[in-house]
C-alpha cells in the first residue's frame, strides 16, 4: 500500500490519510471545500462542489489517476434540496464519464461544509 499526501489540498486533520493506493486502485478520503491552506470556500453549493472537485483532482493526480479513472463516488450533502446545483457541477466536471454514485444527506459535515465527496479510481498504467 502507498500513502498519498499532497500539499495541494488540506492536510488530514485526524488519524487518516488523503488517499491510499492498493493493488492498482486509489481510495480517497472525503474531500471538503477547503483550500490547501485549510480555509473553507464560502458561497453556494456550486462553489463548494467546485473546490471539492479541485481537491479530488489534486489527490487523484498525486496517486497517478484522474477523474476519468473514477469508478465510484460517495457524495455527502447537508441539504438534498441543493442536489440539482451540486449535480450540475458533478456532471460538468466528469464530462461524458459517468462513475457509479451514492448520494446521502447527513446532519452535518466538518467545518460546516455543505458537501463532501470520496472517490475510488483506477491508477493509470
Burial of 116 (0-12, 13-18, 19+ CB in 10 A): buried
Q: How far apart are CA 42 and CA 102, in angstroms?
A: 24
- Architecture in CATH for domain 2-122: 2-Layer Sandwich (3.30)
pTM given for the model: 0.96
Q: Domain ranges in the chain?
A: 2-122
Find out whether 69 and 78 touch, Cβ atoms under 8 Å. no
Residue of 49, 27, 34, 26 lying closest to 103 (CA atoms): 49
For 14-58, how does the pLDDT look when each residue is reduced to its tens digit (9 = 90+)? 899 999 999 999 999 999 999 999 999 999 999 999 999 999 999
Amino acid at each position: 500500500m502507498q500513502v498519498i499526501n499532497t500539499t495541494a489540498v488540506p492536510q488530514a486533520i485526524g488519524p487518516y490519510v488523503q488517499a491510499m493506493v492498493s493493488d492498482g486502485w486509489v481510495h480517497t478520503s472525503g474531500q471538503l471545500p477547503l483550500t490547501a491552506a485549510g480555509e473553507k470556500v464560502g458561497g453556494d453549493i456550486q462553489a463548494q462542489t467546485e473546490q471539492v472537485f479541485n481537491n479530488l483532482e489534486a489527490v487523484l493526480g498525486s496517486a497517478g489517476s484522474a477523474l476519468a479513472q473514477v469508478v465510484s463516488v460517495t457524495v455527502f450533502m447537508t441539504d438534498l434540496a441543493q442536489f440539482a446545483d451540486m449535480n450540475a457541477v458533478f456532471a460538468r466536471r466528469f464530462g461524458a464519464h459517468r462513475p457509479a454514485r451514492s448520494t446521502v444527506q447527513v446532519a452535518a459535515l466538518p467545518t460546516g461544509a455543505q458537501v463532501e465527496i470520496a472517490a475510488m479510481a483506477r491508477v493509470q498504467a
